[in-house]
Structure 1
């Protein structure tokens, strides 16, 4: 019995809020909370404005300064603000001498921080001039392109796990609401997220240093269709729009395996086919089934009765059979088989009987056939096969 008392809503408005925060079969678009610390220079302020433009109307931007907030040391303040504003994503901008132009992206699950990653904005002399503001319509569905071999790495290394987490975070922030169909005319801009190569190839390099990690490039392009030689397929060109950002990955925190497994659970969707146990479909469209059988007892397996499968006498266990001095079993008769070269007749001999050189048996019954040497005309008159001794 649980000692925690369940708090019931006091009015209808609170009941609707509590019900809206419960797990849903089809989740709505994740809301993004944007805020900054005590210092927020213009470069990282432009990053927050760009994220706000791309996530409207599901963005909540706080303009007041928030002091003494350090996500990697204590994220309780951000968890409180995210729960108050019903946001599952947090973008926190801060600036310090040790970590200048810092953007921290956090994902919230069940009121607690699931995982977080730190992006350090790189500012060059050429990009110091402020570029035009990104003009994108509300609820526009972007086409997202991940360029670079790091995004497709499925190994268990720390860098591969980090890029999988970063890719999932970018998709949660920029992909928009999940929909089943879209008009082609609504695909008006492309978001390209490219990952550069690692600077150093030495194995002794400190991987925790941000300067040794690949640079993340964010670019936005406007889709422009022109007339082409093919009537049904237009010629597509991309024009770069808005500001461009370059980041280096700083500190990061992975989610616990059990918490991530719980966060990834979802019920069966309305249009999702019901899966059958142990039945799957391969790439060719064929159904494959798996049947589990119990352990078989091969000792009771019925096989053909063949001489080659019979065990030898020396392998018989549990039988009290003794052998005499000549190496013959005493309780059984030895049966030998021989084939007559002349007629191919098979006959059996007893153990105590011996055949003499002239063809007569010693101790026989008298019915034996005496085959002697033929001579004279009788031998010549006999066929060649019968003349053979």
Structure 2
């Protein structure tokens, strides 16, 4: 295939922006509506788009596509909007109020999971304070199924990737405003979103309260499309420049203290220089030195 070169500086900057980087940009999520969609699914996608902003692209027009049968349309939208995450909403008699979470690798489908919406409360029905745009949420997963069952474990990994946001080195505690909880119970997934309110407590430490701000979703797991182990390993491979350098003979104990092992050559104790103290000398060496001293001393003359 011929490589198309940019014709001007604008197209050159656009290609450089989409080129692979050592530290990638925050992942963008696109919200795509299917050919048949209910008002509930439309409101769900609108509320989740607000939680994902500013890294979100909302397609308002309907698109008659089926990701599980033919993902080419989703892949085209992914390349067009430079998005590696997507959410697809649809509604039909067989699968009512249907949403699909998925992600891409190199603008090709990696994996996706289909969920059904059974109960929904929009964000507008809650009177609590809404969080700011672009805030990293705290994610809490409750339930043994997220650790023991493969489909729920993959769903947990996908949701963490979806709501992850940008990478930061430090987090200001005062900027933690949102908590998203996912609870598995009786085959259902309960998603709740809370706003963290810091109130006066009479001490230096404020009192923390959670106020539900919506949306509230009761979901059920439906179809899944899981990537193969080889493809997933290729998608999660880190560049060599970002891998930490191995330090030989250095380890850490359970308390986080750094321990090191030092290798030294074998010392010759005979050449070890010490302080010459008479009490440290051996008796034979002392007697020999005294004998040598008497032989070398001059004889007295009468």
TM-score tier (shorter) = 0.7 to 0.9
Q: Secondary structure at the match of 1:190?
A: strand
User: Does the alignment pair 1:262 with 2:259?
Assistant: no
- 1:174 paired to 2:170: no
Q: State the Cα RMSD in Å.
A: 2.6
1:237 deviates by 1.5
How far the C-alpha of 1:278 sits from its partner, in A, is: 8.4
Considering fraction of residues, name the structure with more strand. Answer: 2
Match of 1:131 among 119, 125, 130: 125
Structure-to-structure mapping, 1:333-348, within 5 angstroms: none
Structure-1-length-normalised TM-score: 0.61
Distance in 1 of aligned mates of 2:81 and 2:209: 40
Aligned residues between the structures: 259
CA distance in 2, matches of 1:24, 1:196: 41
CA distance in 2, matches of 1:38, 1:278: 61
Q: What's the counterpart of residue 139 of structure 2?
A: 144
Q: Comparing 109-118 with 178-187, which one deviates more in the overlay? A: 178-187
**Alignment partner for residue 223 of structure 1, among 196, 218, 224?**
196
1:131 is displaced (CA, Å) by 2.3
Residue 110 of structure 2 aligns to a residue whose secondary structure is strand
Per the normalisation by structure 2, the TM-score is 0.77
Offset, 1:185:
1.4
Q: Which residue of 2 aligns with 1:33?
A: 30
Q: Which has the higher contact order (CA 8 A, sep 6+)?
A: 2
1:102 CA drift (Å): 0.4
After TM superposition, the structure 1 = structure 2 runs for residues 149-160 of structure 1, keeping only pairs within 5 Å, are 149-153=144-148, 160=149
The structural deviation recorded for 1:168 is 1.7
Q: How does 1:248-259 map to 2 (within 5 A)?
A: 248-259=220-231
What does 1:218-367 align with in structure 2 at a 5 Å threshold? 218-228=191-201, 231-267=203-239, 273-276=244-247, 281=252, 283=254, 285=257
Alignment check: 8 A CA contact 2:43 2:122 kept: no
Partner of 1:114: 110
Q: Which has the greater radius of gyration?
A: 1
The structure where helix makes up a greater share of residues is 2
User: Could you list the runs of 5+ residues in structure 1 that have no partner in the other structure?
Assistant: 154-159, 198-213, 290-389
Aligned in 2, Cα 1:55/1:194: closer, same or farther, shift over 3 Å?
same
CA-to-partner distance for each residue in 1:332-383, whole Å, 9 max, x for gaps?
xxxxxxxxxxxxxxxxxxxxxxxxxxxxxxxxxxxxxxxxxxxxxxxxxxxx
Deviation at 1:269, TM superposition (A): 6.8
Give the match's secondary structure for 1:104.
strand
| Further displaced range: 260-269 or 90-99 | 260-269
Query: How far, CA to CA, are the matches of 1:137 and 1:192 in structure 2?
Result: 18
Deviation at 1:246, TM superposition (A): 0.8
Of 158, 162, 165, 2:154 maps to 165
Cα distance, 1:235 vs structure 2: 2.2
Q: Is the 8 A contact 2:131 2:195 kept in 1?
A: no
Structure 1 residue 96 corresponds to structure 2 residue 101? no
C-alpha contact (below 8 Å) 1:215/1:247 kept by paired residues: yes
Q: Residues 261-308 of structure 1: CA distance to partner in whole angstroms, max 9, x if unpaired?
A: 1111123677x742247865453546589xxxxxxxxxxxxxxxxxxx
